[in-house]
């Protein structure tokens, strides 16, 4: 895919959704961090349902530690892998208090050092909470980047590096959200909604199925 096509893709996505953001509900970087940790192998809908109950009770590292792991499990028990996630959240809260004055760190290395936080989660926090021009490649973005020819790659890291290289700089801050929403609702894994796609004429996938 050439640069002209790539630019046009993001011009259209930007026109359709000028201010994209995550569908996870949060008001602070810490709330976002916990929500993203809970969202692994779970839907944003299920996470939001849990945090709507949890955050009015405990939405800081101190409050969650005071709540305790057993009680935390009760709030998130409908989310997949909730026992492991509860353990990681508790460990993360302790580290935030002991090493970062209770604040979510803005450095990748510090974020990835937190239990249950990998590169993808760190990228979401850096981009959404702190405005860094990063791309968190999840299953939707990985599929989309390969399918339409935007940034083909065999691994998540390869796709991430390619996206950062080929996406025009003025679109980098919001590209993560545009791509994830397009992959989630239009360019779906099964039965992509090509008839509703605003970038269909720019997509290389159509040439494979037509």
Domains, in order of start, for the chain: 3-20+134-209 (1.10.1670.10), 29-129 (1.10.340.30)
Within 13 Å and on the Cβ side, how many CA atoms surround 105?
19
C-alpha closest to that of 142 among 162, 123, 112: 162
Residue 201 vs residues 42, 64, 196, 204, 206: alpha-carbon distances, Å: 32, 49, 11, 8, 8
Backbone angles phi, psi at 169, to 5 degrees: -55, -35
Structure confidence at residue 204 (pLDDT): 84
Structure confidence at residue 150 (pLDDT): 95
What's the gap between Cα 31 and its chain centre?
Answer: 14
pTM of the entire predicted model: 0.90
Contact 135, 175 (CB under 8 A): yes
Contact 94, 68 (CB under 8 A): no
Structure confidence at residue 210 (pLDDT): 46
**Residues catalogued as catalytic:** 120, 138
Contact 144, 179 (CB under 8 A): yes
Rama region for 103: left / alpha / beta (φ>0; ψ in -120 to 50; rest): beta
Contacts of 191 (CB under 8 A, 6+ apart): none
Per-residue confidence of the chain (210 residues) as pLDDT tens digits? 899 999 999 999 999 999 999 999 999 999 999 999 999 889 999 999 999 999 999 999 999 999 999 999 999 999 999 999 999 999 999 999 999 999 999 999 999 999 999 999 999 999 999 999 999 999 999 999 999 999 999 999 999 999 999 999 999 999 999 999 999 999 999 999 999 999 999 998 765 554
**Residue entry with tokens 């020819």:** 149
DSSP the chain: --HHHHHHHHHHHHHH-SS---SS--SSHHHHHHHHHHTTTS-HHHHHHHHHHHTTT--SHHHHHHH-HHHHHHHHTTSTTHHHHHHHHHHHHHHHHHHSTTSPPSSHHHHHTSTT--HHHHHHIIIIIT--------HHHHHHHHHTTSS--SSHHHHHHHHHHHS-GGGHHHHHHHHHHHHHHTS-SSS--GGG-TTGGG-SSHHHH-
């Amino acid at each position: 895919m050439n640069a002209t096509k790539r630019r046009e893709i993001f011009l259209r996505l930007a026109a359709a959704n000028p201010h994209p953001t995550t569908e996870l509900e949060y008001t602070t970087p810490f709330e976002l961090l916990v929500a993203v940790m809970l969202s692994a192998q779970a839907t944003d809908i299920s996470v939001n349902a849990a945090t709507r109950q949890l955050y009015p009770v405990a939405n800081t590292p101190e409050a969650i530690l005071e709540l305790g792991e057993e009680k935390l499990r009760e709030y998130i028990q409908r989310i997949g892998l909730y026992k492991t996630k509860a353990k990681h959240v508790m460990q993360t809260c302790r580290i935030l208090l002991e090493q970062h004055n209770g604040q979510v760190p803005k450095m990748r290395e510090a974020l990835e050092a937190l239990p249950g936080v990998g590169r993808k989660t760190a990228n979401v926090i850096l981009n959404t909470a702190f405005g860094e021009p990063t791309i968190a490649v999840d299953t939707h973005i990985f599929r989309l980047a390969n399918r339409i020819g935007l940034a083909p790659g065999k691994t998540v890291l390869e796709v991430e590096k390619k996206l950062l290289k080929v996406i025009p700089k003025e679109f980098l801050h919001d590209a993560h959200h545009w791509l994830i929403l397009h992959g989630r609702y239009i360019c779906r894994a099964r039965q992509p909604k090509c008839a509703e796609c605003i970038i269909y004429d720019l997509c290389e996938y159509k040439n494979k199925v037509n």
